[in-house]
Structure 1
Amino acid sequence: MTHPLIPQIIDLATPIVEEMGLDVVEVVFQTNKRPPVLRVDIRNPASDTSLNDCEQVSRALEAVLDETAIMPGAYVLEISSPGISRYLNSERDFIAFKGFEVNIATNPPYKDKKEWRGRLQGRDEKAVYLNRKGRAIAIPCAVITKVQLAD
């Protein structure tokens, strides 16, 4: 379940990050840690995400979060790059990683399988398309729980 502050944080972070030519990939608020950790994953679409990118976003976002005071009490702000072993969510992800090996989890099972692996061919509103050993497979979006780059 998503923390109720996440949409507000995304609304605050997105214009800051986009002004720097970067993308917000994911925002997670880990309230089970003391102090809680707010992690914002960013990506530089033009090149590898650098430490400098993370530092700039951290400074700018920290100032806005402090100014708006939406964070309840003390927290740790982490800005990071999601790396390549991550989940595919956005249309941009599916375009950028076309041709890469992916793992797809389904629930309920699709054609009696919960796990699928193949080369990503694309995605539309109905399905994610894989190439498995030369055969095209369309897995309905309605049963997909996650799509992740394969190791």
Structure 2
Amino acid sequence: MAPGAARPLLSLLVPVIADLGFHLVRARMTSEGEQMILQIMAENDAGTIAIEDCEAISHAVSAMLDVEDPISGNYTLEVSSPGMGRPLTRPHDFERWAGLEAKLELQRSVDGRRRFRGRVDGFEAGEARLQVALEGFETPQVLGFALADIAEVRLVPDDAALRQSLKAGKTRKK
């Protein structure tokens, strides 16, 4: 949910975003030269978010950060939707997006491999599961990965992801 430098901000960000009716998908601190950037991805229960919602989150988070002052120096705040190539960061993300294709990168190599591509197969026994084509096997094998071992998992935008995203948007409008 929050790698590296953004991790200490979780206890401040989550309640502010939740008070507006949204869920924090990911928070990340990056930099461009000397400029720090706090990137926030959020969504509602249907997995969507409108531009106006991003604006409301930006105003609320900015006000909280001005009071709490947890980031030293200047920074830029960016609030966005997870998008079709969304990161999967929480156990229920792996359940919700099961069946869609994803790319997974581990923190460090396992058996000489850090990157995997396959179909999301849910979350079970504390592990994110992915169906992966492996050499020597005729059918994809289900591999489990502890969230702590994962650097990043992202959906691969394709027709199935687009249909799922459009379906979530229609559900939100009802």
TM range (shorter): 0.7 to 0.9
Would you say 1:130 and 2:131 are equivalent positions? yes
TM-score after normalising by structure 2: 0.70
1:31–1:120 distance in 2 versus 1, CA, 3 Å: closer
* Residue 91 (structure 1) shift: 1.0
1:12 corresponds in structure 2 to: 12
2:91 corresponds in structure 1 to: 91
Would you say 1:108 and 2:114 are equivalent positions? no
2:156 corresponds in structure 1 to: 150
1:80-135 superposed Cα distances (whole Å, 9 cap, x missing partner):
1121213322112101101111233455355x765443322222225614275x93
**C-alpha RMSD of the superposition:** 2.8
1:59–1:145 distance in 2 versus 1, CA, 3 Å: closer
Would you say 1:70 and 2:70 are equivalent positions? yes
2:54 corresponds in structure 1 to: 54
| From 140, 144, 148, the counterpart of 2:144 | 140
1:38 corresponds in structure 2 to: 38
1:127–1:26 distance in 2 versus 1, CA, 3 Å: closer
Per mean C-alpha deviation after superposition, the further-off stretch among 42-51 and 59-68 is 42-51
Q: Percent identity?
A: 26
Tell me the distance in 1 between the aligned counterparts of 2:7 and 2:113: 34
Tell me the distance in 2 between the aligned counterparts of 1:31 and 1:65: 18
1:21-42 superposed Cα distances (whole Å, 9 cap, x missing partner):
1111111122444432111111
Structure 2 segments unaligned to the other structure (5+ residues): 158-174
Tell me the distance in 2 between the aligned counterparts of 1:8 and 1:115: 27
* Residue 11 (structure 1) shift: 0.9
Tell me the distance in 2 between the aligned counterparts of 1:46 and 1:140: 26
1:80 corresponds in structure 2 to: 80
Larger relative helix fraction: 2
Partners of 1:121 and 1:131 within 8 A in 2 = no
Q: Secondary structure at the match of 2:104?
A: strand
